[in-house]
Structure 1
Amino acid sequence: MSSTATFATFRRILTQLRHDPRAVALLIAMPTVLMVLLRFVLNSAQRFSGIAPALLGIFPFTIMFLITSITTLRERTTGTLERLMTMPIGKLDLVFGYALAFGLLAVVQVTVAVSVSLAWLGLAITGSMWTLLLITTLDALLGTALGLFVSAFARTEFQAIQFMPVIVLPQFLLCGLFVPRGAMGWLLNAASDVLPLSYAVDALTQVARSAEVDGVLLRNMLIVACCAVLALVLGAATLRRRTP
């Protein structure tokens, strides 16, 4: 890997995003809008505080997955990535450059959503705000990494969107948001154990209920981070020097 090549890709993506301010504004604002909607639908600060921490991870994860997969697919299908691959630049340089650019957006997105939820919507947590922010950022980065990875298996933007019910929705249903994972049948529990979003939701739930940073919390955060890095490495492996 070359830091120069990685940051060159990072700057190129940010330049492209700067020319589409409406899309960037929508991307940053959407999780916050969803949290505001949830607060008024529940109409109870207590109920909101019970479910909001998990959704602070799920909403950015889902949105970043969709945006990243569609944007990266567009660059694949228009030949941009193929032209870049003819230059002396490594696959990991490209993928991590994309991850840094979209990751920066994810950090801003999550910071706004967490700040509004804590300061205005009445979200109450026992743990540290910074720990909550770190976990939700890791979750958004995981969505970014998975979006980069699955873009290799789609030929059109519609196909990219079709990966959402395959990759995102099963994790949404099995992460413990609706039913505790321990209360599921053994098969569903086993499936939940191999899905990274489950560990993100476990970590967020623990931060909401406890101020202790123990080994379980650190383990869950490490699993989410490692899954994001693994997805990026697999995404780099799918890049081709020429279109088949």
Structure 2
Amino acid sequence: MFSPHRTGVVTHRIVKEFLRDPRSRVVLVVTPGLLLVIVPALFESATAFNPSGVMMIGLFPAMTMTLVGSASIVRERTRGSLESILATPVTRPELVLGYVCAGAVLAAAQSVVTTAVAYWVSDISTASPPWLLGLLAMCSGMFGMCLGLLISAACANEGQAFQFMPGVMIPQMLVTGIVWPVAQMADWVQWLERALPLSTVTRAMTAAREHSYGGTSLVTNLIAMLAVAAGALAFASLFIRRRTA
């Protein structure tokens, strides 16, 4: 039977572990904001940077949380702590949900910093209010954590998990419109972009930029994001196995 108490204990443990690691703090909090300060210099003007900058508010949390999540369960398995956890009454769904709740806490902190830097330093402007972009950034971070947990549960070691970033996640990012407008890409790339999980993030952010409160496009992409995240968590729960009986 599902226990909120056991899930809360797992969440508390994971948050403490993430905050104890200075590298995780840098990746989660410092890196997205720093990139939002540096990348505008690559564009001719703030107006030219604005479409890509809004996508970055959602993409960077998704990418960093995927990176953090992809190493989490693999690290637990490598250290032997996964064996100890699964030997307790904690179930696999509770373990995965505990990671998701911890990801929500970390994504909330990350979204505050990222959104503040985007609006106050990088001069991002949107039709929707900043708090909505911050909420979308938090959802994107949780979405990335779900993808990362699936990768982590399916991989045997951290080397395999980290290969997904340059091999799968970065190519997705390049065709979602952050570098070049999707409408100006080849037809087959546009079809590919529609099928990629990260496109739900960039399309939601673009909808919030172009329309007040995003409209139908925002709702549609949030539902798609939720469906992909739920599927990732379901498969992650199935892939988590103890090494010993």
Global fold match (TM > 0.5): yes
C-alpha RMSD over aligned residues: 2.1
Distance in 2 (CA, whole Å) between partners of 1:68 and 1:187 is 31
Distance 1:83 1:161, change over 3 A: same
AA at the equivalent of 1:136: A
Q: Are residue 52 (structure 1) and residue 45 (structure 2) matched?
A: no
AA at the equivalent of 2:52: I
Distance in 2 (CA, whole Å) between partners of 1:68 and 1:153 is 12
- Range that drifts further, 91-100 or 17-26: 17-26
Distance 1:125 1:174, change over 3 A: same
2:4 alignment counterpart: 3
1:236 alignment counterpart: 237
Distance in 2 (CA, whole Å) between partners of 1:22 and 1:220 is 32
AA at the equivalent of 1:24: R
Distance in 1 (CA, whole Å) between partners of 2:37 and 2:71 is 26
TM-score by length of 2: 0.90
Structure 1 segments of 4+ aligned residues over 6 angstroms from their partners? none
Q: Is the 8 A contact 1:139 1:197 kept in 2?
A: no
Distance in 1 (CA, whole Å) between partners of 2:60 and 2:11 is 24
Distance in 1 (CA, whole Å) between partners of 2:43 and 2:182 is 23
1:118-197 → structure 2 map (5 Å cutoff): 118-197=119-198
Q: Are residue 104 (structure 1) and residue 121 (structure 2) matched?
A: no
TM-score by length of 1: 0.90
- Count of residue pairs the alignment pairs up: 244
AA at the equivalent of 1:237: L
> Per-residue deviation at 1:101?
1.0
2:205 alignment counterpart: 204
AA at the equivalent of 2:145: T
2:76 alignment counterpart: 75
AA at the equivalent of 1:234: F
SS in 1 for 2:178: coil
AA at the equivalent of 1:114: T
> Per-residue deviation at 1:182?
4.9
Q: Is the 8 A contact 1:154 1:160 kept in 2?
A: yes
> Per-residue deviation at 1:162?
0.6
Gaps of 5+ in 2: none
Distance in 2 (CA, whole Å) between partners of 1:31 and 1:44 is 20
